[in-house]
Amino acid sequence: MPKNNNIQFAKRMEQLPPYLFGMINKIKMEKRWQGDDVIDLGMGNPIDPAPEAVIEKLCDVVRDHKSHRYPVAAGLKNLRREIALAYQKDYEVELDSESEVICTIGSKEGISHLCLALVGPGDTVLVPTPAFPIHIYAAIIAGSNVIRIPLASEEVFLERIANMCESLYPRPKILILNYPHNPTGILANLDLFREIVALAKKYNFMVIHDFAYAKIIFDDYVAPSFLEVPGAREVGVEFGSFSKTYNMAGWRMGYCVGNREIIQGLAKIKGYYDYGIFSAIQIAGIVALRHCDEEVLQQARIYQQRRDVLCRGLQQMGWPVTKPKAGMFVWVKIPEPYAQIGSMNFAVQMMQHANVAVSPGIGFGEDGEGYLRLALVENENRIRQALRQIKRALPKLTEDIDSSNQANTANNNHLAAACKEKIRCSL
Ligand SMILES: Cc1ncc(COP(=O)(O)O)c(C=O)c1O
């Protein structure tokens, strides 16, 4: 088709690099169309079913046409009350469900719109990296600057935040946190949160904590809520999600809790953009929170077993891997000689030679380069199968490295530079 010169995108679109996961997904879909059985350890898209009681409730309510009207945008009173009750039960945090809880169409939507409400050109957002892409791009789309804070030991990480606050003018306006962390699996404890609250008060920044993996926890580890720390509510909010906890990723339901002024801001901007979550889904969400604790525990056990199978298999292949204590992913350093082709090329080669989809570390920003993220979303047998296929494909990869080393490296460097450039030009 001839190019139509009338179609011109907004300037902000230039800030968005090619979505690397989209590229991997495209190859995966093409292979599947050709009849290949691709084992998908790429996206954190749960394969297990939502709890039966939740599905039944949705089916019941959806028959009532009253549920088809525009929903209560901020979330049904009873759903918000149930979220507040869950915080009381799980973290001993008391929330006023009217002013300190708002429902969102998943946490990704909530974080994006909250950034639009809080920051714009001239503002700066601090994002620990590697990062789940929306933590960076929500801020960039809102027009603000993004400063990466490479994740490190707690002490170094806190020092880096403080240094940034001391050296930047105007000072950073928001710090986005995410624990249990995607993709690295790094955890927070209450001491870290206490220090963050102290820094936020000292330097006057707000905190957004993405708590999407709150309940996917292993080996007796319990993930703390940011709001457990005294003073947290004065500086920030926390996002929760039904996507992973209840295998409801496609249902699009999450929430934001904490600072009432921030929540008011989010409600205001959402009022312009959307009408909230389909009421039938909200009512089913009440059932999830009220009656599905056992299913949540069972799902965490399933992920833990898959984690064990995957980590054992990688270790047997001689890959250095640390078992995560939470989340849906294993974050693994690509060993030599394969690391030299770069994570994107490695992921593409794995798809081509092993029929296994993985996420390249570079997709989480330049600090993710050299790593792969493997999602625990296939069953144990499929994970074992994936490990066998990866093992079988590695010699093929070595041949390719020898024959096209330079081209591969150049290609990956190009992708890495593109990511870096896009973040830089927003600084
Ligand atoms: C850290 C993190 N936050 C948020 C999301 C998206 O959650 P939701 O489905 O609630 O938008 C994901 C999904 O993978 C995630 O990993």
**What whole-number percentage of the chain has pLDDT above 70?**
93
User: In angstroms, rounded to a whole number, what is the distance separating the alpha carbons of residues 290 and 97?
Assistant: 15
User: 143-152, 170-179, 389-398: which has the minimum mean pLDDT?
Assistant: 389-398
Mean pLDDT of all residues in the chain?
93
Preceding amide of 180 cis, omega within 30 = yes
Place of tokens 């950073």: 172
User: Which pLDDT value is given to residue 409?
Assistant: 53
Residue 70: both structure tokens together: 């525009």
pLDDT band at 424 (very low <50, low <70, confident <90, very high): very low
Pocket test for ligand 1, best of 134, 243, 255, 281 (most atoms within 8 A of CB): 243
Structure tokens that stand for 225 in this block = 């809520």
Q: Is the CB of 132 under 6 A from ligand 1?
A: yes
Query: What separation in Å is there between the alpha carbon of 162 and the centre of ligand 1?
Result: 27
pLDDT, one tens digit per residue, over 273-322 is: 999 999 999 999 999 999 999 999 999 999 999 999 999 999 999 999 99
Res 426: pLDDT? 29
Q: How far apart are CA 8 and CA 25, in angstroms?
A: 26
Ligand 1 in reach of 108 Cβ (< 6 A): yes
Q: What is the pLDDT of residue 417?
A: 54
Percent of the chain past pLDDT 90, that is, above it, reads 86
Q: How confident is the model at residue 4 (pLDDT cuts 50, 70, 90)?
A: confident
Query: What is the pLDDT averaged over residues 205-233?
Result: 98
Residue 380: in which H helix or E strand, if any?
Answer: helix 380-424
For residue 414, pLDDT over 90 is answered with no
Question: Which atom of ligand 1 is closest in space to residue 254's alpha carbon?
Answer: 10
Rounded distance between C-alpha atoms, residue 272 and residue 274, angstroms: 6
What span, in angstroms and rounded, lies between the C-alpha atoms of 343 and 425?
Answer: 23
pTM to 2 decimal places: 0.94
CA distance 261 to 271: 15
Our answer on whether the CB atom of 238 is closer than 6 Å to any ligand 1 atom is no
Q: Exposed/middle/buried for 312, CB within 10 Å: 0-12, 13-18, 19+? A: middle
Task: Say what the pLDDT of residue 404 is.
Answer: 56
User: Is residue 21 over pLDDT 80?
Assistant: no
Q: Which atom of ligand 1 is nearest to the CA of 108?
A: 11
Beta bridge partners of 128: 149
The DSSP element (H or E) to which 166 belongs, if any, is: helix 154-167
Which atom of ligand 1 lies at the shortest distance from residue 43's CA?
A: 14
Question: For residues 143 and 425, what is the distance between their CA atoms, to the nearest angstrom?
Answer: 11
Distances (CA, A) of 391 to 38, 244, 378, 405, 409: 15, 29, 18, 20, 22
- Does the beta carbon of 113 sit less than 6 angstroms from any atom of ligand 1? no
- Segment 58-71 mean pLDDT: 96
Count the Cβ atoms, other than its own, within 10 Å of residue 361. Answer: 30
Question: Is the CB of residue 210 below 6 angstroms from any atom belonging to ligand 1?
Answer: yes
- Residue 25: pLDDT band with limits 50, 70, 90: confident
**Nearest-CA residue for atom 3 of ligand 1:** 212
**Residue 178 CA: which ligand 1 atom is closest?**
1
Quote the tokens at residue 275: 């009408």
CA of 236 to the centre of ligand 1 (A): 18
Instruction: Please indicate whether residue 58 or residue 27 has the higher confidence score (pLDDT).
Output: 58
Instruction: Check residue 397 and give its pLDDT.
Output: 80
243 CB near ligand 1 (under 6 Å): yes
Rounded CA separation 371/342 (Å): 9
In this predicted structure, what is the pLDDT of residue 20?
73
Instruction: Work out which ligand 1 atom sits closest to the CA atom of 252.
Output: 9
User: Which tokens in the block code for residue 383?
Assistant: 């994970």
| Cα of 113 from ligand 1 centre, angstroms | 14
Q: What are phi and psi of 82, to 5 degrees?
A: -65, -35
CB 241 near ligand 1, within 6 Å: yes
* Integer Cα distance of 397 and 253 in angstroms: 41
Which residue's CA lies nearest to atom 12 of ligand 1? 212
Q: Which domains does the chain possess?
A: 14-44+295-424 (3.90.1150.10), 52-291 (3.40.640.10)
Instruction: Judge whether residue 390 has pLDDT over 80.
Output: yes
- 11: DSSP letter: G
Q: Does ligand 1 lie within 6 Å of residue 216's CB atom? A: no
- Measured CA to CA, the distance from residue 371 to residue 119 in angstroms comes to 31
Q: What pLDDT band is residue 17 in, cutting at 50, 70 and 90?
A: confident
**Ligand 1 closest atom vs CA 182:** 1
Give 118-160 pLDDT, tens digit per residue. 999 999 999 999 999 999 999 999 999 999 999 999 999 999 9
Contacts of 168 (CB under 8 A, 6+ apart): 124, 147
- Ligand 1 pocket: which of 177, 210, 364 to mutate (most atoms <8 Å of CB)? 210
Q: How far are the Cα atoms of 131, 221, 298, 339 from residue 184, in angstroms, in the given order?
A: 9, 16, 23, 17
Q: Hey, what amino acid is at 420?
A: K
Residue 42 CA, ligand 1 centroid: distance in Å: 14
Counting atoms of ligand 1 from 1, which one is nearest the CA of 45? 14
Rounded CA separation 422/146 (Å): 10
Residue having the nearest C-alpha atom to atom 2 of ligand 1: 212
**Does residue 62 surpass a pLDDT of 90?**
yes
pLDDT at res. 422: 43
Average the pLDDT over 262-275 and give the result: 97
Yes or no: say if 294 and 248 are a contact pair by the CB < 8 Å rule.
no
Query: What span, in angstroms and rounded, lies between the C-alpha atoms of 4 and 8?
Result: 9
Q: Is the pLDDT of residue 425 over 50?
A: no
Helix (H) and strand (E) counts in the chain: 14, 12
Worst-scoring range by mean pLDDT, 66-75, 101-110, 302-311, 409-418? 409-418
Rounded average pLDDT over 248-255 = 98
Ligand 1 atom with minimal separation from the 242 CA: 10
State in Å: Cα 138 to ligand 1 middle: 13
